[in-house]
Amino acid sequence: MDDNNIIPVDTDSLAQGWVFSVDKPLGWTSFDVVAKLRNTIKGRYGVKVKIGHAGTLDPLATGVLVICAGKATKMINQWVGAQKEYRAVFTLGGTTKTYDLESEISSTGKVVPIFSEKIKADIESKFVGLISQTPPAFSAIRINGERAYKQARKGIHIDMPERQITVYGLNWLNTNGKSWEVNISCSKGTYIRSLANDIGQFLGCGAYLSSLVRTAVGDHTISDSRPLAEWITLLRQD
């Protein structure tokens, strides 16, 4: 994305609003980033502005988080609905309750298959295109008015509703051993954690998401996103 498409941070921005393409730090929630930017804008301009993000990233994920503030929130839906791209690592031979590294790893004791053209074709025939996906119970989706992860942490069984999502492509980068690295392009609403778990089940050995970087949200890419600290510095400049 051309840097000219990013609304500049100056006094006129208070009237125009902001579009921040943030390279989200590891360990931060999407809400943490939104709150930090909201507080920085309030401290700089003395006003509280409307602000929101165009698609959640889990704390253990990094990469592109598009945030709109002020009048620019009118544009947020164009990025909420935009195609997303990720670079993920699936670790095979184990599972976790959260489908990632936020919970304890349990070894399945099953043999991890050797990647082959047949396995590649079998995975893509099952998981590329319009597919049904069940989101993880440990997610922020509201079930009966409460976040699903809050119920899951209480040990309450939740029947998560399936949703239709589209995986446009899987580009396998490294498939040696138990950790398989892949570039994924997909629609909004796709849970990469669920995709890892589902592929693990399909292969019969189990799998969980061990690393995730969102590399693009529409025309916002990781190469033209700024670290949060850099955005904070720009906002505080006179």
What beta strand segments (E) does 10-119 contain?
18-24, 51-53, 61-69, 84-92, 94-95, 106-107
Cβ neighbour number for residue 165 with a 10 Å cutoff: 18
Which is the catalytic residue, given 3, 10, 32, 58? 58
Tokens 């319009």, located at residue: 130
Q: Find out whether 34 and 232 touch, Cβ atoms under 8 Å.
A: no
Residues 6 or more apart in contact with residue 238 via CB below 8 angstroms = none
Q: How far is CA 208 from CA 33, 125, 136, 178, in A?
A: 26, 20, 12, 11
Among residues 202, 203, 216, 200, which one has the least CA distance to residue 90?
200
Q: By CB neighbour count within 10 A (0-12 exposed, 13-18 middle, 19+ buried), where does 20 fall?
A: buried
Q: Find out whether 64 and 225 touch, Cβ atoms under 8 Å.
A: yes
Give the Cα separation of 60 and 102 in Å (integer): 8
- Annotated catalytic, 198? no
User: In terms of residues, how long is the chain?
Assistant: 238
List, by residue number, the catalytic residues.
58
